[in-house]
Amino acid sequence: MTSALEIRGITKQFGPTKAVDSVSFSLEPGEICGFIGPNGAGKTTTMRIISTLELPDSGDVFVDGVSVLAAAREVRSRLGFMPDSYGAYGATTVTEYLDFFARAHGLRGRVRSQTLASVMDFTSLHPLAGKHIDALSKGMKQRLCLAKTLLNDPKLLILDEPAAGLDPRARVELRELVSALGDTGKAVLLSSHILTELAEVCDSVAVIEAGRLQAKGRVDEMMRATRAQAEVTCRVLSDPAAGLRAIAEMPHVLGARLQGEAIVFAFAGSDADRASLLAELVRRGVQPVDFAARVTNLEDVFLSVTKGTLQ
Amino acid sequence: MTNSASIESLPGSDAHGERPHGIFERLGDWLNPVLVKEVRQAQRGRVFTVALVATVLITLLSCVIMALDLSDSNTQPGRSFFTVVYVFVCGAMMLVVPFQAFSSMGSEWDDHTYEMLVLSNLKPRQIVMGKLLAAVVQSALLLAVFLPFLATAFLLRGVDMLVLGVVLALTAYASVWLSTFSIMLSAVTRNRLLRVLLMVMLGGGLASLVSGAAALAQEFINRPDQMADTEFWIALPQILVVFTLLGVLAFVITCNLLAHEEENRSSNVRILGSVAIFALLALVALNVGLATVGLPREGVFGFSVVGIFALTAVSVFLCSEPERLGRRVGPTVPRRPWLAFLTLPWYPGGGRGAAYLLLHLAVLVAGGFAIALFAEPPSYARTPASSSLNSEGGAVLLLSAVYAVLYTLVPIGILAMFTRNTSGGRKFMRTIAFFSPFLYVLVPAIFGLVVGSYELRSTRHVGNPVRTMAGSVSAFEDHRDGVFFILLPLALFGIVLALPKILRAVRETATARQAVPVERSDR
Ligand SMILES: Nc1ncnc2c1ncn2[C@@H]1O[C@H](COP(=O)(O)OP(=O)(O)OP(=O)(O)O)[C@@H](O)[C@H]1O
Ligand SMILES: [Mg+2]
């Protein structure tokens, strides 16, 4: 099966800065992939290259098997791109705006009106149909822009920071929209700064830093990999100093230290290793009262990956 | 939200919103989307409507004032009336409409909406055409609004119906032409500051054009007999042909400015250039044949020289294009080798640009001489002995071809050895090439200052085309040595510099068709 998106070693340089540096990864149909990285990591640049707006210095991108270099027009008809900042035409209503882009995509007659209706349904824009674009709120504009990118029934959606500036309710709605899109078999690549946002909706994440891809994988796998270095906090009934000594001798334990009454250490073993560590402590009479490994979230994945501690 | 319910209703499936589709809507489907958008925006924006109403009111007011001021002695009040109204017509159609087209294209950059147009898969041609059609609609609307005033002018007597019709038709033509030009100008740069500068220049240019056009129209209205001349009717279509070709060129250049880097952004200009050259030769031949005009031999050579210099200006761009065929252009080269070879000069690339220039120089020189055979000999040499082609005009034509090579292939060929073919490097090459005519004059002059040569210092040398090409018959004779020992070797040097590029272009063309384009990733 053809990948919805395949990036092959793209590089893009702006003057002295390598905005994107030999990045490769791919997305299968229906896959929702979070694209995370610190400011200036090269997310927007990568997305603009995928969307044919920028040419890579080297490498190529295939959208649904079509090269952005060799066939930019075909690529554009297969993808929808929602940029992080976009202009809107003044003096137009929501319907007119969508109608214009539907015409631009070559939709005619009944097909156009049906497409408009279904896209407006999907994004719940019907109540706003006659409203002027200038009068829309940020969240409404975002939905309008999403509706616009859906007009050509794209195989791949590129959303650059779609959640930025949305209130919590609008974010939940956006998340629902995105996962609904994934269910229809569209691949979605979305970048965001709000990492916890992505975990629920994404199947996979790609982490980029300083133009280089640091990691790409399924969310659960990445979490497990990060949990391998979970931070464990342990409080003991007996003398903490003795407990600290006992723990420091154990396998997979890194950098154990006292933090008030508690012993804090990084643990590099698996879940099973952690269970046997606890059993061993009990056997040695250390008497643990609290034993908590901090639950990993995407934030930790992100932090550990961008520090280069993974792989 | 109703996502789970509405997901089936994504594009493709049928849902609600079934509107009846009448004949007008079905026709509207085929309209240019950008035109539809622009007209809707103008309707809602009300700027245009307000401007229109205001203009009409002002016109009305001016007419009333004029009517009160009319003395009884004025036998042809229609003429004065027309003059007043026409200033407004002209200002609206030749200033407001092109200006609006300029800012409409420019706002696509400023409002960051252009990329959305690109992503919506509109071709550059459609975008430019949409903007232009919107200008046409505005022009037509303005004309319709002003028609009652103009009809009044006619009814007041003194205004010739034919003159009125021709003046209005030409005004409408100028309005569309200037809009095309303005759209091109606003596509030249995406830098806002530079565009403001261009806008000021455009405004000034248009304003002076309007005053010129108003004066011209008044002249025609007051002396309608000018339009009765056959010469007017011979000249007018020819001028229109030339301007239409220039307008199409502006349109095509705009499309290229908007197009994707990997697209073919050169062949359309090249083809248009060839058409223009043949049109020019055809017009010249036509004028030679027309008994009433009877273009003499000097005229034939003169027009060919103009053609050569226009070709030179375009060739500066063509010869400095990147050599490699774009990744979307390579696959379009014809499969048959002989066809690929024949079409080579019309494909993008600097080497192919050099081939294009040399080919068309040959066509212009040969065409000029061929037509001159049938033309009247020059007026100063109408003796039986001088019917041969060995006239000064022929020498000027040949010389201008030599200068064309000096101004394009020589500077670009030399600079190509030192500059990389990046977009900055190309801009540099083109700037130097455009200044090269001055460099050829100034550098020897400065050298003359140093060595104390009066001839060089006063620019009386072969680098100065005015010296060798204009003036008396003896001008060329005076510089015969310089032409043979400096200009010709230098031009040959330029051609020699271009030869490897042309050969490489031939080889690339030969292999381009064999390479299968990478369109599908095979996995
Ligand atoms: N047009 C450009 N000209 C010059 N440098 C650029 C350009 N676009 C991006 N860059 C640089 O490339 C790098 C990557 O930028 P990019 O916008 O892709 O990052 P990002 O990951 O989207 O950041 P953010 O999270 O802030 O949106 C940055 O250092 C930026 O300064
Ligand atoms: Mg960004």
Residue A190, strand partner residues: A34, A159
Contacts of A120 in chain B (CB under 8 A): 17
Please state the rounded mean pLDDT for residues A92-112: 91
Distance (Å, whole) CA B423 – CA B432: 14
* Per-residue pLDDT at B474: 56
If you search the block for the tokens 């959640």, which residue do you land on? A163
End-to-end CA distance of chain B: 39
Percentage of chain B beyond pLDDT 90 is 41
Question: Which region among A36-45, B177-186, B479-488, B510-519 has the lowest average model confidence (pLDDT)?
Answer: B510-519
Asked whether A85 lines ligand 1 (CB < 6 A), one says no
Instruction: Summarize pLDDT for B211-253 with one digit per residue, the tens.
Output: 999 999 988 888 888 888 888 888 899 899 999 999 999 999 9
Give the integer Cα–Cα distance in Å for B150 and B143.
Answer: 10
Q: Does B327 touch chain A (CB under 8 A)?
A: yes
Query: Which of B27, B29, B521, B522 to mutate to probe the A interface, most A CBs <10 Å?
Result: B521
| Between A47 and A272, residue with greater pLDDT | A47
Q: Which residues of A touch B518 (CB under 8 A)?
A: 60, 67, 69-70
DSSP assignment of B171-220 equals HHHHHHHHHHHHHHHHHH---HHHHHHHHHHHHHHHHHHHHHHHHHHHHH
Q: Which of A175-179, B77-81, B514-518 has the highest mean pLDDT?
A: A175-179
CA B193–ligand 1 middle distance (angstroms) = 23
Q: Does A117 touch chain B (CB under 8 A)?
A: yes
Least confident stretch, A48-57, B187-196, B293-302, B466-475: B466-475
Reported residue count of chain A is 311
Residue nearest to atom 1 of ligand 1 (CA): A14
> How many Å apart are CA A210 and CA A38, to the nearest integer?
8
**Residues of A in Cβ contact (< 8 Å) with B264:** none
Residue B519 has pLDDT above 50, yes or no: no
Interval A175-191 mean pLDDT: 92
Closest alpha carbon within chain A to B24: A109
Distance separating alpha carbons of residues B68 and B330, to the nearest angstrom: 71
> Which of B21, B119, B190 to mutate to test binding with chain A, by most A CBs within 10 Å of its CB?
B119
Give B326-342 pLDDT, tens digit per residue.
Answer: 777 887 888 888 888 89
Report the C-alpha gap between B79 and B159 in whole angstroms: 6
Band of pLDDT at residue A63, cut at 50, 70 and 90? very high
Q: Which residue from B12, B14, B26 is facing A109, i.e. has the nearest CB?
A: B26
- From chain B, pick out residues whose CB is under 8 angstroms from the CB of A76: 118-121
Query: B231 at the A interface (CB within 8 A)?
Result: no
pLDDT of residue B5: 37
> Quick one: pLDDT at residue B44?
77
Residue pLDDT, tens place only, B101-140: 999 999 888 888 888 888 888 999 999 999 999 999 999 9
Ligand 1 and A19: CB distance under 6 A: yes
Cα–Cα distances (Å) from B201 to B186, B196, B197, B207, in that order, read 12, 9, 6, 10
Query: What local confidence, expressed as pLDDT, does residue B279 receive?
Result: 94
Specify the pairing of strand A79-82 against strand A156-160. Answer: parallel
What type of residue is B406?
A: L
Q: How confident is the model at residue B388 (pLDDT cuts 50, 70, 90)?
A: very low
Hey, are the CB atoms on B519 and A112 less than 8 Å from each other?
no
A44 Cβ closer than 6 Å to some ligand 1 atom: yes
Which atom of ligand 1 lies nearest, measured to the CA of A38? 25
CATH 3.30.70.100 is the classification of domain A228-295: yes
% of chain A at pLDDT higher than 90: 39
Look up residue B442 and give its two tokens.
């100034």
Would you state the pLDDT for residue B482?
82
Residues of chain B neighbouring A55 (CB-CB closer than 8 A): 261-262
For ligand 1, atom 23, the nearest C-alpha belongs to: A40
Select from B4, B32, B109, B120 the residue whose CB has the most chain A CBs within 10 Å, as the one to mutate to test that interface. Answer: B120
pLDDT above 90 for A304: no
d(CA B202, CA B205): 5
Decide: residue B193, CB within 10 A, 0-12 exposed, 13-18 middle, 19+ buried.
exposed
Closest CB to B519 among A67, A110, A153: A67
On average, the pLDDT of chain A sits at: 86
Nearest CA to ligand 1 atom 26: A39
Tell me whether residues A118 and B9 touch, CB distance under 8 A.
yes
Averaged confidence pLDDT in chain B: 83
What are the residue boundaries of the structural domains of chain B, listed by start? 23-228, 255-523
| Residue with more model confidence, B359 or B61 | B359
B6-30 pLDDT per residue, tens: 444 454 444 444 455 567 667 778 8
Q: Kindly state the average pLDDT of the residues A285-293.
A: 86
Q: Is the beta carbon of A209 within 6 A of some atom in ligand 1?
A: no
Please tell me the predicted confidence (pLDDT) of residue A200: 78
**Of A44-48, B97-101, B478-482, which range is least confident?**
B478-482
CA–centroid distance, A146 to ligand 2, in Å, is 17
Its CATH class, for the domain covering A5-221, is alpha beta
The answer, yes or no, to whether residue B3 has pLDDT greater than 60, is no
Ligand nearest to the CA of A20: 1
Q: Which residue of A has its CA nearest to B14?
A: A114
Range of weakest confidence among B316-320, B374-378, B387-391: B387-391
User: What is the model's pLDDT at position B22?
Assistant: 66
Q: Is A37 in the pocket of ligand 1 (CB under 6 A)?
A: yes
Distance CA B252, CA B125 (A): 8
**Cβ-based neighbours of B93, under 8 Å, separated by 6 or more:** B139, B142, B143, B171, B172, B174, B175
Q: Do domains A5-221 and A228-295 have the same CATH topology?
A: no
Least confidently predicted of B141-155, B438-452, B463-477: B463-477
Q: Are A88 and B113 within 8 A, CB to CB?
A: yes
Separation of CA A254 from chain center = 30
Tokens (6 digits) for A19: 């905005």
Q: Is the CB of A49 under 6 A from ligand 1?
A: no
B83-100 pLDDT tens trace: 888 988 899 899 999 999
Task: Give the A window 170-229 contacts with B, CB below 8 Å.
Answer: 173, 176-177, 180, 183-184
The Å distance, Cα A39 to ligand 2 centre, comes to 7
Between CA A298 and CA A220 the distance in angstroms is 10
**Model confidence at B513: pLDDT above 70:** no
**pLDDT at residue B196, as a whole number:** 93
Distance from C-alpha of B514 to C-alpha of B517, rounded to nearest angstrom: 9
DSSP character at residue B321: S
Task: Tell me the torsion sign for CA atoms B470, B471, B477, B479.
Answer: negative
Q: List A18's β-bridge partners, or say none.
A: A13
Mean pLDDT value across residues B255-268: 88
Q: Does A278 touch chain B (CB under 8 A)?
A: no
The band of B475, judged by pLDDT with boundaries at 50, 70 and 90, is low
Confidence of residue B49 (pLDDT cuts 50, 70, 90): confident
Best to test chain B binding among A6, A114, A133 (most B CBs inside 10 Å): A114
CB B351, CB B343: distance < 8 Å? no
Residue B387 pLDDT grade (very low, low, confident, very high; cuts 50, 70, 90): very low
Question: In this structure, are residues A118 and B9 in contact, taking their beta carbons and an 8 Å threshold?
Answer: yes
* pLDDT of A311 higher than 60: no
DSSP-assigned states of every residue in chain A: ---SEEEEEEEEEETTEEEEEEEEEEE-TT-EEEEE--TTSSHHHHHHHHTTSS--SEEEEEETTEETTT-HHHHHHHEEEE-SS----SS-BHHHHHHHHHHHTT--HHHHHHHHHHHHHHTT-GGGTTSBGGG--HHHHHHHHHHHHHTT--SEEEEESTTTT--HHHHHHHHHHHHHHHHTT-EEEEE-S-HHHHHHH-SEEEEEETTEEEEEEEHHHHHHHHHTTEEEEEEESS-HHHHHHHHHHSTTEEEEEEETTEEEEEE-S-HHHHHHHHHHHHHTT--EEEEEEPPP-HHHHHHHHHTT---
Which residues in chain B are closer than 8 Å to A104, comparing Cβ atoms? 33-34, 117, 120-122
Q: Sheet with A66-67: list strands edge to edge.
A: A17-27, A5-14, A58-63, A66-67
Torsion of CA A293, A297, A301, A303, to 10 degrees: -90
- Residue B101: in which H helix or E strand, if any? helix B97-110
Q: Where are the domains of chain A?
A: 5-221, 228-295
Sequence-distant (6+) residues with CB within 8 A of B39 are B134, B137
Q: Is residue B470 pLDDT above 70, yes or no?
A: no
The Cα of B95 is separated from the nearest Cα of chain A by a number of Å equal to: 23
- Mean predicted confidence (pLDDT) in B162-187: 94
Reduce the DSSP state of residue B120 to 3 states and report it. Answer: coil
- Residue-level pLDDT at B312: 96
Interval B407-419: pLDDT, tens: 999 999 999 888 8
Kindly give the distance from the C-alpha atom of residue B299 to the centroid of ligand 1, in angstroms, as a whole number: 59
Angle CA(B113)–CA(B114)–CA(B119) in degrees, nearest 5?
Answer: 100
